[in-house]
Amino acid sequence: MSAGPTNLEFGEGGRPRPTIVRGEGGALWDDRGRRLVDLGATHGVGNLGACPPTVVRAVQAQAAQLLYLGSGYANPVRTAFLEKLLGLLPPSFGRVFLSNSGTEAVEAAIKIARSSTGRPKIVAAMRGFHGRTLGALSATWRKELREPFGPLVPEFVHVPFNDIAALDAAVDERTALVLLEPVQGEGGVHVATAEYLRAARAAADRTGALLGFDEVQTGMGRTGRLFAFEHWGVLPDLLVLSKSLAGGIPIGATVTTTEVESRFRGSHHSTFGGNPLACAAGIAALDFVVGGRLPERAERLGRVALEGFRSLPASRVREVRGLGLMIGIELRDKVAPVLAALEARGFLAIPAGATVLRLLPPLVIEETDWDQGLAAVAEAIGDG
Ligand SMILES: Cc1ncc(COP(=O)(O)O)c(C=O)c1O
């Protein structure tokens, strides 16, 4: 249970957590041999589960072939990964910038938008989360995450999520980018309305701004479609991916159109971006997500869970929100005791703010584990 000299959560504090040493599918084992069900412990990276066998094999083979290559050189594994990724996206997308994390992929989107439009302003949403490097943090909403690190990057404004009039008023001829999560994750699991995303597209078109969707958390099948924007049929100019894109190996991808790229001035680069190891993992991960029909599974398991939670008589629940296997249960009080109660029952979930219980299970979670997890959540909420 010891946290040891970890630096993973600077400033987050909190109670000691189990030490996890192994994983398989939707289950994790601690250093005492206890099996724990992952309802969110992998923070949305584990869509394919822990150690997906085809990804592990691809990584092993690639590690023996070529670990690293600078981006100035071509590599067939990188090319194959990019072709596969673009093949799964609408044809308007033709260019990808590869990096190593969600926040880096957001940084790239901000730089591409500013450079390609020649404009400074970024419009983001209240409750939005886009990462912790200074550019992405400037687009992030929560005051506690931002304030200690000011001054942040200028010309970022935040508008209420799902408020079309406020968005229309904010987006103007100085706007480079409208940056939105189709479902806000860290901010409490808030789902965008179709009208809002259509209005965002229209506002960008009207003013010459770019529309960017941060699908770091919603991507790769999580919401019941491979990419969440497919639910609404609204196409962005910039799409930001990371988390489970390479099945657990660090990766970030900023996808855009050849037209946007043709207007890009200056340069952007990442030493480790597009390394063959991550690309080999990415090929195997994409094949697994598509071949294993994981988005369909997320849609089915998520729908049943949402219906179940919504019919709970629990007086402690303020609202149940979600899409696919991205579920938020907003409580009337603090979520921390519920997380501890779940952990005692062998289920690891995460918060989204102080009062929201967030479930982001692997899309491959065994149905018995999921059913028992839902029962444990209902009990833990009832216990309060
Ligand atoms: C929507 C969204 N964008 C960006 C990020 C940042 O990703 P990373 O932690 O890999 O930098 C996250 C992380 O949770 C996220 O949920």
Closest ligand 1 atom to residue 242 Cα is 10
Contact call for residues 126 and 286 (beta carbons, < 8 A): no
Residues with C-beta less than 6 Å from any ligand 1 atom? 101-103, 106, 129-131, 181, 185-186, 214, 216-217, 242
Q: What is the pLDDT of residue 13?
A: 63
Phi, psi of 242 (to 5 degrees): -170, -135
Contact call for residues 83 and 75 (beta carbons, < 8 A): no
Distance 64 CA to ligand 1 centre (A): 30
Q: What is the pLDDT of residue 57?
A: 98
pLDDT digits (tens, 9 = 90+) for 128-161: 999 999 999 999 999 999 999 999 999 999 999 9
275 CB neighbour count, 10 Å cutoff: 26
> In angstroms, rounded to a whole number, what is the distance separating the alpha carbons of residues 11 and 92?
42
> Which of 329, 325, 326 minimizes the C-alpha distance to 310?
329
Q: Which of 110, 127, 129, 229 to mutate to test the pocket of ligand 1 (most atoms within 8 A of CB)?
A: 129
Q: What is the pLDDT of residue 12?
A: 64
Nearest 5°: the CA angle 366, 371, 374 is: 125
Residue 153, sorted as left (phi over 0), alpha (psi -120 to 50) or beta, turns out to be beta
By alpha-carbon position, which residue is closest to atom 10 of ligand 1?
102
pLDDT digits (tens, 9 = 90+) for 235-267: 999 999 999 999 999 999 999 999 999 999 999
Q: What is the pLDDT of residue 17?
A: 86
Distance 185 CA to ligand 1 centre (A): 9
Q: What is the pLDDT of residue 351?
A: 96
Distance 205 CA to ligand 1 centre (A): 27
Distance 131 CA to ligand 1 centre (A): 5
Closest ligand 1 atom to residue 101 Cα is 10
Q: What is the pLDDT of residue 11?
A: 66
Closest ligand 1 atom to residue 184 Cα is 1
Q: What is the pLDDT of residue 190?
A: 98
From the number of C-beta atoms within 10 Å of its C-beta (0-12, 13-18, 19+), residue 261 rates as middle
Distance 283 CA to ligand 1 centre (A): 21
Q: What is the pLDDT of residue 287?
A: 98
pLDDT digits (tens, 9 = 90+) for 193-225: 999 999 999 999 999 999 999 999 999 999 999
Distance 8 CA to ligand 1 centre (A): 14
> Which of 293, 354, 284, 360 minimizes the C-alpha distance to 322?
360
Chain mean position to CA 112? 20
276-291 and 53-65 helices, crossing angle to 10°: 160
Residues in the chain where the model's pLDDT stays below 70: 1-9, 11-14, 383-384
Contact call for residues 375 and 39 (beta carbons, < 8 A): no
